[in-house]
C-alpha cells in the first residue's frame, strides 16, 4: 500500500483530523457522548491508519516501543494517583471533592484527570496490540 499515492495523500490529510477529533471526544466527554475510552480508541485509530498505509516500521519510528511501554503505565498511574492525592488531602480514595475548594470544581478536575488517564492508557495499549500483531507480517 506504500506505493499508492491516493492512499498516502488521503491518509496524510485525514490523520490530523482523526487525532483532533479524538481530543475533542476526550475533552468534551463531560458535555456530549464520549470520554476517555472512546477518545483513546479513536486516537489509536489515527496511528493505526498511519501504520497501515506507511508500514509498521514507519509507525515504530514515529512512536518508539520504549515510549509506548512508558505511556501504557502512565495513564493507570495518573488515575490511581488522583485517588492517592485525594487520600493525602484527607478525603476518601477517588473522592474528587477534596481536589478543589468547592465540590463541583473538585469533581470537574477529578473527572478530567481520570478520563485523561483512561484515554492515555487505552490509546497506548491499542497501538501496542496493533504493533505486536501487524509487526509480525513484516518481511
**Does 130 help bind another protein (rule: CB under 8 A)?**
yes
Query: 495513564: which residue's cell?
Result: 75
Q: Which of 38, 55, 81, 85 binds another protein (CB under 8 A)?
A: 38
Count CB neighbours of 47 within 10 A. 22
Class of residue 107 by CB neighbours under 10 A (exposed 0-12, middle 13-18, buried 19+): middle
| Site residue total, another protein (CB under 8 A) | 57
Site for another protein in 39-98 (CB under 8 A): 41-42, 44-45, 48, 52, 60, 65, 68-69, 72-73, 75-76, 79-80, 83, 93-94, 96
Give CA separation, 73 vs 51, 78, 97, in Å.
Answer: 22, 9, 25
* Minimum CB distance to another protein, residue 81 (Å): 11
Given a contact cutoff of 8 angstroms between Cβ atoms, the answer to whether 18 and 1 are in contact is: no
Interaction of residue 99 with another protein, rule CB under 8 A = no
Say which DSSP state 134 is in.
Answer: H
| 26 lines the binding site for another protein (CB under 8 A) | no
Q: Which residues bind another protein (CB under 8 A)?
A: 25, 29-38, 41-42, 44-45, 48, 52, 60, 65, 68-69, 72-73, 75-76, 79-80, 83, 93-94, 96, 103-104, 107-108, 110-111, 114-115, 117-118, 121-122, 124-126, 128-138
Amino acid at each position: 500500500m506504500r506505493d499508492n499515492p491516493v492512499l498516502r495523500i488521503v491518509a496524510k490529510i485525514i490523520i490530523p483530523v482523526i487525532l483532533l477529533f479524538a481530543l475533542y471526544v476526550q475533552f468534551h466527554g463531560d458535555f456530549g457522548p464520549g470520554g476517555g475510552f472512546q477518545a483513546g480508541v479513536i486516537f489509536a485509530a489515527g496511528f493505526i491508519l498511519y501504520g497501515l498505509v506507511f508500514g509498521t516500521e514507519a509507525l515504530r519510528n514515529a512512536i518508539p516501543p520504549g515510549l509506548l511501554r512508558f505511556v501504557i503505565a502512565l495513564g493507570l498511574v495518573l488515575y490511581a494517583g488522583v485517588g492517592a492525592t485525594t487520600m493525602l488531602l484527607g478525603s476518601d480514595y477517588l473522592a474528587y471533592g477534596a481536589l478543589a475548594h468547592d465540590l463541583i470544581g473538585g469533581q470537574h478536575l477529578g473527572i478530567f484527570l481520570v478520563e485523561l488517564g483512561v484515554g492515555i492508557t487505552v490509546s497506548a495499549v491499542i497501538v501496542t496490540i496493533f504493533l505486536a500483531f501487524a509487526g509480525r507480517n513484516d518481511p
